[in-house]
Amino acid sequence: MNLERSVLSIVENDLPNISRAFTRVANFLLESPDEFMRKTVQELSKAAAVSEPTLIRFCRRYGYNGVPDFRIALALSSSSSAGANLAGAQVGLQLEPNIVDRSAVNKESKRAIAESAMSFIEEGQSIIVDSGSTMALFAEYLRNAPPITIFTTGLNVVETLWGCQQHKLILPGGIVRFDASALTGRMVEASLKDLHFDLLFLGADSILPEVGLSTYNEEEAHQNRQMIDAASRLILLVDSSKFKQPALHRICSISRIHAVITDNGLSEQDAKMLKNAGVKVIIADQ
């Protein structure tokens, strides 16, 4: 699907062509897109008065494997178009997928990327580990790493590393973003102010070589820039689906990246542009 067109507008234009059950899902989406993003599949089914299989078939009609893929595309399209001017939809709408949706998609690629990132780990290092679904998988491999210092804002990362007493684990203060399982805010930035790290392992909602890294959340973009400034090298962990339409809030240009670890879905053109910019490109084996 072309994300130049809002997912909301595509669904609205399709209303005359769909079944009554699909119409109930579409109407709920158009009237309450933020609720559509927030609710579980079970809650969505109840709210739209349809079965869970019907909800999944609705998403597949528009080219997505299921609800998580659909909601991620919805967030990206509304972010890049700043919302759709539709009856019942909000102008300037900004949506963000939750950690459950992020964790459900491209899991095999993310695990391979996380494992490949271990090639950068050496005993005695100090590293920053970003929050996110790929970072939670990376933390599973860090459990058996030699002793290092780990600073993270990811609550799922902390949970995974709990009890790994060979590591020094630094958790800053901050406000909990429950949908992202992460800490954010000025207390995080204050914690970084007088610290320096060897490596930053970062994820991103979108990367385009000509634009750079971007994310759905303005506060997260600012926090990521603080992390980049606090580390000697930036290692980006992103599956190839992230090479797409930029999200609303820019983090940095690709010139700040030391290496990108991704999967074999990366296009030759994007790989060439990254390499020409001096970025090391690593394709993780699956």
Pick 89 or 28 by higher pLDDT: 28
DSSP state of 184: E
How sure is the predictor about 248, in pLDDT bands with cuts at 50, 70 and 90?
A: confident
Provide mean pLDDT across the span 204-231: 91
Share of the chain above pLDDT 70, in %: 89
What integer pLDDT is reported at residue 34 of this predicted model? 87
Distance (Å, rounded) from C-alpha 99 to C-alpha 84? 24
The bridge status of strand 259-262 relative to strand 197-202 is unpaired
What integer pLDDT is reported at residue 73 of this predicted model? 81
Distance (Å, rounded) from C-alpha 139 to C-alpha 161? 6
What integer pLDDT is reported at residue 218 of this predicted model? 87
Q: Name residue 107's amino acid.
A: K
What integer pLDDT is reported at residue 3 of this predicted model? 45
Question: Tens digits of per-residue pLDDT, 140-161?
Answer: 999 999 999 999 999 999 999 9
What integer pLDDT is reported at residue 5 of this predicted model? 57
What integer pLDDT is reported at residue 142 of this predicted model? 98
How sure is the predictor about 68, in pLDDT bands with cuts at 50, 70 and 90?
A: confident
- Angle at Cα 76 formed by Cα 34 and Cα 228, nearest 5°? 110
Length, in residues, of the chain: 286
pTM for this structure? Answer: 0.75
What integer pLDDT is reported at residue 80 of this predicted model? 54
What is the sign, positive or negative, of the torsion defined by CA atoms of 259, 2, 38, 60?
negative
Above 80 in pLDDT, residue 241? yes
Domains with residue ranges and CATH for the chain = 7-95 (1.10.10.10), 104-283 (3.40.50.1360)
What tokens does 268 get? Answer: 């030759």
- Angle at Cα 175 formed by Cα 115 and Cα 139, nearest 5°? 10
- Angle at Cα 284 formed by Cα 281 and Cα 286, nearest 5°? 155
Helices (H), the chain: 7-13, 20-31, 33-38, 41-48, 52-61, 67-81, 99-104, 107-117, 133-142, 155-161, 186-192, 218-229, 268-276
Provide mean pLDDT across the span 102-126: 90
Contact status, residue 54 vs residue 25, Cβ threshold 8 Å: yes
How sure is the predictor about 94, in pLDDT bands with cuts at 50, 70 and 90?
A: low
